[in-house]
Chain A
């Protein structure tokens, strides 16, 4: 599979009063057409900044952005503002976390979808854009779309708004869809519906999808490949099976351990990862996870590189000094 989107050594820093905040530090990945890549991590792990930087949404005088993000031949990090504008929405679309606040409250849903279409297709009339909006709303499962197209965002429920958001993202048939915590603000039954919708669109349209989430349950349902991020760095990368059945990094173990499982006896308390993520302004030397890691040893004072450490899985990368035997022996199952 050749990559549609290829991110190489992405670094994003923000100048703050407390110094340079390195939000993303050396992230690389490839995304092929039709693939769902999940980026997993806690708040502040850099997953959203990574996604927004690809779209040029983090550009500002205070931002230091390095590396490359090639979409076919275009490097989105180096592209000028007009190239980015025409790329956003048309080739790479984004769905955000909170559907309650992501629509402008003063315009009708249909008008906002139409605005996205007409921003890229100047020859489309208002009327045609509206008709297209009806089709789109219908295709994401909003019933009575012909009437609902004239509703205001506050007249939609959270799930409907997220559907409408996805409809808007699909308006121009983009090649890449970035979904930033698309289900976090929704209740569980609606979450499942939205994930099904994303999966279905991904399968039907061959849409390359980046799914950003902190919820491994969401990942298990949809992803092909998983990138685990911690404090701005990728700590583990592999296929869905590799991450779930042969996780290599203690942080991933912690994430997996904190999932509730219906097929096991219920523990007294849900396991959690002790401590809190480090401040990005004051990262510990070496492995950033070291202070919270119960397997840390001397060598962890030195930052491990992201390498393939498994002989039989060259695509499975991790950043941990523990040797394979120790890992398999000591990790919780």
Chain B
């Protein structure tokens, strides 16, 4: 376990390094991204551009520029090119909204994904299964903006049940926090509910043909117990993997949903930064997101060892 974690930490640093170099290079090769030119504005004189280049270090060799930027990322001194705001501060400000959105949605999609998948599997081929399949496929194929527009039209503008957007801190008012987040949660969760329920359903149908399920029946367990303790339990392992990867990816910001519901989280900030081709926030957000993806990958591996006793951490597969 100790060795496993050390090895994973080293891997994590390597991944983050690679991601940062790639981001930096991509930014420097795309056209029309000369930041000095754009910061100087439309009426820029060559002298102004030169002085900006000088001041911000855009004339330095690329490796030098990269090192300076990375130093600033980790010391918290990173300033965006446009608007010149403190990048790390903006990210920290965005965390409550983004995390509230992702974790809340994750609870919803896990609950309904597992419930629908389970019901579909034990009633496979029946009416309920067909109905849930329609729900799942609709959820998977529905574009998020369409879904959001639907909710906003019918639940906000026509009936005024839910607010149209904005974020209220949990500490300020838990009730309003939830009220503002319900539509974003549901909008974000529906895709995953559909996806998870389909995956679980097919995992469970496979598991039902396993010999150990026949053994479980042969020893006189109730059908309910066979389904939950044996079929469902063993089918959840891949779901946990998916869950870890999806949550890890979303913690770096849910761009579309945050944007539509004006949650002002990290995703929305990422969108803004990309629009402006503003490297410092792009770099910081990419690293922030990559960190969670790598972290959750490791957590998934650790969870695996608890869920399946055949898995031993730090050992290669036999």
Contacts and interface: CB of A to CB of B under 8 A. Distances in A.
A328 interface: no
Contacts of A101: 210-212
Contact of B211 (A98, A154, A171): A98
Nearest to B220: A89
Contacts of A104: 212, 215-216, 230, 234
Interface stretch (B17-25, B64-72, B177-185, B307-315): B307-315
B55 interface: no
Given A101-B212, A105-B212, A115 B308 contact: no
B146 interface: no
A98 B216 CA distance: 14
Contacts of B225: 119
Contacts of A89: 218-220
B221 interface: yes
Nearest to B212: A104
Interface residues of A, number: 29
Interface string B191-232: 000000000000000000011101111111111010001100
Contacts of A55: 218
A154 B230 CA distance: 17
Secondary structure at the B interface, as helix, strand, loop or mixed, is: helix
A17 to B, nearest CB: 15
Contact of B212 (A102, A116, A169): A102
A96 B230 CA distance: 17
B218 to A, nearest CB: 4
Contacts of A120: 220
A90 B211 contact: no
Interface in A77-133: 81, 85-90, 93-94, 96, 98, 101-106, 115-116, 119-120
Contacts of B223: 81, 85
A168 interface: yes
A64 B212 CA distance: 25
A241 B52 CA distance: 104
A168 B212 CA distance: 13
A96 B214 contact: yes
A326 B308 CA distance: 61
Given A102-B212, A104-B230, A106-B234, A94 B218 contact: yes
Interface in A40-92: 55, 57, 81, 85-90
Contacts of B211: 96, 98, 101-102
B234 A88 contact: no
B130 interface: no
A14 interface: no
Contacts of A29: none
B228 to A, nearest CB: 12
Q: Which interface residue of B230, B308, B309 has the most chain A CB atoms within 10 A?
A: B309
**Interface size range of chain B in the complex:** 20 to 34
Contacts of A169: 219
Nearest to A113: B219
A152 interface: yes
Contacts of B308: 105-106
A122 B219 CA distance: 14
Nearest to B222: A85
Contacts of B215: 96, 102-104, 165
A106 B225 CA distance: 15
Given A102-B215, A152-B310, A85 B234 contact: no
A57 B309 contact: no
Contacts of A87: 220
B219 A88 contact: yes
A152 B309 contact: yes
Interface string A176-217: 000000000000000000000000000000000000000000
A57 B233 contact: no
A86 B221 CA distance: 8
Nearest to A86: B220
B298 to A, nearest CB: 21
B309 A115 contact: no
A85 B210 CA distance: 19
Nearest to B236: A106
A103 B221 contact: no
A73 B148 CA distance: 64
A90 B222 CA distance: 13
A88 B307 contact: no
A96 B211 CA distance: 8
Contacts of B214: 57, 96, 102
Contacts of A106: 233-234, 307-309
Nearest to A103: B212
Contacts of B230: 104
Contact of B220 (A98, A102, A105, A116): A116
A119 B215 CA distance: 13
A105 B234 CA distance: 9
B215 to A, nearest CB: 5
A88 B309 contact: no
Given A105-B309, A152-B310, A119 B219 contact: yes
A280 to B, nearest CB: 20
Given A85-B220, A88-B217, 11 more contacts: A93-B219, A96-B215, A104-B215, A105-B212, A106-B233, A116-B220, A119-B222, A119-B225, A152-B309, A152-B310, A169-B219
Interface of B: 210-212, 214-223, 225, 229-230, 233-234, 307-310
A-B pairs, top 3 by smallest CB distance, nearest first, are A89-B220, A116-B219, A89-B219
7 contacts: A96-B215, A102-B212, A104-B230, A115-B216, A120-B220, A154-B310, A171-B219
